[in-house]
Amino acid sequence: MLPTLISLRQRINGMNPRASPGPITPQAAGNVPLEGIQNVRELLVPSISIYEVFKRVLQQRGESPALQAIAIMQQGQVVDLDLAIALHAAKTSVELSLPMADSILLATAQMYEAMLWTQDADFANIEGVKYVERTR
């Protein structure tokens, strides 16, 4: 089974700010489909995702809910941006015309041989990505 990396930032508005940190659930992850997660210990969380989610929740709901969101994310394996991932992300960004954060997510998934789950349409036709169209 491949490790899993989920891009949570597309659906962060769906997070319940009152939820206590607990198992990662569809509600906690903003309703991103989580059937790909069999073992939370295999969930990869790029450090740039920590930044993006904390910033967004801080802006919209305040510091306490932002810290709760990060506590949920820390149930997975937080992956720091290192030299190898940074260089791979830069190449990926040039090759696929992806913005910096997106290329870091993809490069992290590729370096860890993980499946990237996302609702970001920019990833729709990229190998190694499970794109799930948003429902309105």
pLDDT tens track of the chain, all 136 residues?
455 565 554 433 344 333 333 333 333 444 444 455 556 777 899 999 999 999 999 999 999 999 999 998 898 899 999 999 999 999 999 999 999 999 999 999 999 998 898 888 889 899 989 888 877 6
Domain enclosing residue 79, as ranges: 4-131
| CA 55 to mean position of chain CA atoms | 14
Question: How far apart are the C-alpha atoms of 35 and 47, rounded to whole Å?
Answer: 23
Please count the structural domains in the chain: 1
- What CATH number is associated with residue 36? 3.40.50.1010
Q: What is the pLDDT of residue 29?
A: 44
Structure tokens at 15: 């997070």
Q: Tell me whether residue 60 is in a domain.
A: yes
Residues 6 or more apart in contact with residue 114 via CB below 8 angstroms? 2, 3, 4, 5, 44, 108
Q: Tell me whether residue 136 is in a domain.
A: no
Which residue's structure tokens are 């990060």?
A: 70
Q: What is the pLDDT of residue 14?
A: 42
